[in-house]
Copies of this chain bind each other. A is one copy, B any other.
């Protein structure tokens, strides 16, 4: 590798000062247009590469934004990330992505690393059990945080997420409207705000329809396709013989449908299943999945926008921003058939 080209290399070969070069490359009107052109041309010719760490050392803006979620391979987060990416790209910000897999420690390491790199801000879907201090660590060191998808108690940081309680009640009401009375809830956990909200929404909808809430109809845990698949056994052997399932998300729903199909029943006919999120996949599943659109792209876009606005000082975001979910009715739900799924028993 040839000697590294830096501002001073350009300056020397052109017989000007580094200050002039620095200003010229950033198109400052302080340097004459003709000089600017000469300098830019030379920079290109020499293959100059801007050294951001040197610059940010001086300016204390790195152009780096961190994003940490449970699992970037999970399509739910994937859709959010895609929206964040396109919003940040537009502002020419570099973003550093990480999974925390719900490990508070991994998450803290990430925030720490980001601080070391001089990150300008961070967007996070906090790990289960995140103590407020871990978020404050960022804020206190001048790196504003925005939360997505999950809240943290006792913390005043802007958050963007879907209205889970309302959303799940949409799904539940849809099933009730189809005549179902024994409706299970499959997946999720009480350890996240999202989990509690969704269960609450399910309970509320049942109550409002005067259906007794049977805690045994809840199968907590699954959050993945694999989990939903495995939960099918459990679901099919519930003594109350549910005719429908409100699932934690689309992945669980698809997994559950696969499990149900594997047992010889036809999802959408013998058992109605709703998902949550409306992933791309929902519409091509077999049967296509009735689900609730959870505004992933909206969450990602507006969280990123909020952070950028805060950084540029143009607007200070705060409080909770709830995106209104919407029902998407497809083939995985249908009217109650009186045989139920136990083959006429």
Contact = CB atoms under 8 A, between A and B. Distances in A.
B53 A118 contact: yes
A82 B101 CA distance: 11
A56 interface: yes
Please tell me the size bucket of the interface on A.
35 or more
A258 interface: yes
Nearest to A52: B116
Given A97-B97, A225-B281, A229-B284, A116 B51 contact: yes
A35 interface: no
A102 to B, nearest CB: 15
Interface in A283-324: 284-286
Interface in A126-160: 140-142
Given A226-B280, A262-B286, A117 B141 contact: no
Q: How many copies does the complex hold?
A: 2
A60 to B, nearest CB: 9
Given A226-B280, A229-B284, A262-B286, A73 B78 contact: yes
Contacts of A118: 51-53
Interface of A, secondary structure class, is helix
Interface string A231-250: 00000000000000000000
A76 B319 CA distance: 38
A225 B116 contact: no
A80 to B, nearest CB: 11
Contact of A261 (B49, B79, B82, B286): B286
Contacts of A54: 53, 57
A62 interface: yes
A217 interface: no
Interface in A143-199: none
A47 to B, nearest CB: 8
A99 interface: yes
A62 B53 contact: yes
Nearest to A50: B116
A113 to B, nearest CB: 5
Contacts of A201: none
Interface string A95-129: 01101000000000000110111100000000000
7 contacts: A49-B112, A49-B115, A52-B118, A53-B57, A53-B62, A226-B284, A255-B284
